Amino acid sequence: MAAWVKGGATDADAAVMAAARLLSSAHAPVFAGLNAEVAAIRAAYDLAGRIGASVDTAGGDATYADLGALARVGAMQAPPAEVAGRADAVLVVGEAPLKSPLVERLRGTKPVRGRAAGAERSIHHLRSNQDLAVQIAHLRAHARGHMTSDAGMAETARAMASALYGAVLYDPGELGTLGIEMLQGLAMDLNESTRCFALSVSDGTQDRAALQVAAWTTGQATRVGFGRRVPEQDPWRFDADRQARAGEADAALWLASLPTPRPTWLKTLPTVALVGADAAPDLAEVVIRVGEPGRETGGVLWNEGRAGLSYRAPEQGADLPTAADIIARIAAAVAGRGAVAGRSAVANSEDA
């Protein structure tokens, strides 16, 4: 196993002990990234509870854009299988959804279920050359007959209104809360005369898996803090980027067993990094190479095609520890250093 402490190569035991010292001595540690298998995310929540850390994910902004819109206006959502099986008209909003394998699947197939079975499927694209929220508002106005000035918008509005089953694909990080609210309003308007549903496509991180782990572990969404012994959820207060910029965090655990863009603040804090193939000695104060789930180790991951969690077997054998194993060893070392008992509502509930 590859591991480094302050740039120098070391063994697993020394790296784990260095990580335990760094995290247990911090007053306000933050756990970030969480782009990993479910077992590692669960282990991170447990360790965060034991030492009073806050938790955020790599795609937290996108997650909260979706959750904010859901709380304010509701949602007309459909899973990928229903969209692929039934939709005869699809509107792709912005550029990010074009990267999803689902779009290529939709381009190459026809509906096979429902009233639209066997019909040709039309794909429409709302490009992000202008503010997407404004463009969706204009499309909504054309669909309701309040505007007729844009021929392209009018054509797209007619296609969605005349569909037997319409679907709107979007990326929440690209669209933002205001745009998602407008998009959900469009779907609700179309449902007055036909069927239309929205589908949020993933940005490639495991945020949806982390959201489920957060829900069953703490009863709340991600961006949770354990500093006052019980899990407190606050999307602003426990935003890892904001905490790092404001100087509120004094140490970090960066969990990214899957490839993940690194935040700019990563090297501004004493950090323990548990990372996959992109591990490097200078990435953080303590760096431990772990197996990449689905490639080098097995693990439960978010399955975009099924909109759920599923096990992914390793593609190749590798003598590497899982991130969950390393976090468990760090937690044991933290306990051995006499960390404050009972700081975590999670730990207490599991021990009860």
Asked if pLDDT for residue 57 goes beyond 80, the answer is yes
Mean pLDDT of 52-79: 93
**SS3 string of 108-148?**
CCCCCCCCCCCCCCEEEEECCCCCHHHHHHHHHHHHCCCCC
The pLDDT score that the predictor gives to residue 80 is 94
- Average pLDDT on 177-202 reads 94
Q: How confident is the model at residue 348 (pLDDT cuts 50, 70, 90)?
A: very low
Residue 338 has pLDDT above 70, yes or no: no
Structure tokens at 92: 């792709």
What is the Cα–Cα distance from 3 to 62, expressed in whole angstroms? Answer: 32
Confidence bin at 349 (pLDDT 50/70/90): very low
Res. 85 pLDDT band, cuts 50 70 90: very high
> For residues 189 and 221, is the Cβ–Cβ distance under 8 A?
no
Prediction pTM value: 0.88
Strand partners for 121: none
Identify any residues that bridge with 125 across adjacent strands, giving them in sequence order: 92
Task: Assess whether pLDDT exceeds 50 at residue 276.
Answer: yes
- Asked if residue 168 lies in contact with residue 184, where contact means CB atoms within 8 angstroms, the answer is no
Give the fold, CATH level 3, of 3-59+205-351.
Rossmann fold (3.40.50)
Distances (CA, A) of 243 to 46, 176, 216, 267, 337: 21, 21, 25, 14, 26
Domain ranges of the chain: 3-59+205-351, 64-200
pLDDT tens digits for 15-46?
999 999 999 999 999 999 999 999 999 999 99
203 has pLDDT over 80:
no
Is residue 340 scored above 90 in pLDDT?
A: no
Rounded distance between C-alpha atoms, residue 105 and residue 99, angstroms: 12
Question: What confidence tens digit (pLDDT) does each residue in 8-17 have?
Answer: 999 999 999 9
Under 8 Å between Cβ of 228 and 247: no
In degrees, rounded to 5, the angle at the alpha carbon of residue 309 between the alpha carbons of residues 306 and 314 is 100
pLDDT at 49 over 60: yes
Query: What pLDDT does residue 40 have?
Result: 98
**Mean pLDDT for the stretch of residues 213-231:** 94
Percent of the chain clearing pLDDT 90 (strictly above): 86
Is the pLDDT reported for residue 350 higher than 90? Answer: no
104-135: per-residue pLDDT in tens? Answer: 999 999 999 999 999 999 999 998 777 999 99
- Report residue 351's pLDDT band, with 50, 70 and 90 as the boundaries: very low
List of E strands, 6-145:
8-9, 29-33, 54-55, 89-93, 122-126
Surface-to-core class of residue 273, CB atoms within 10 Å of its CB (0-12 exposed, 13-18 middle, 19+ buried): buried
Q: How confident is the model at residue 234 (pLDDT cuts 50, 70, 90)?
A: very high
Q: At residue 184, does pLDDT exceed 60?
A: yes
Task: Give 173's contacts (C-beta < 8 A, 6+ positions apart).
Answer: 59, 61, 62, 65, 96, 203
pLDDT of 123 reads: 96
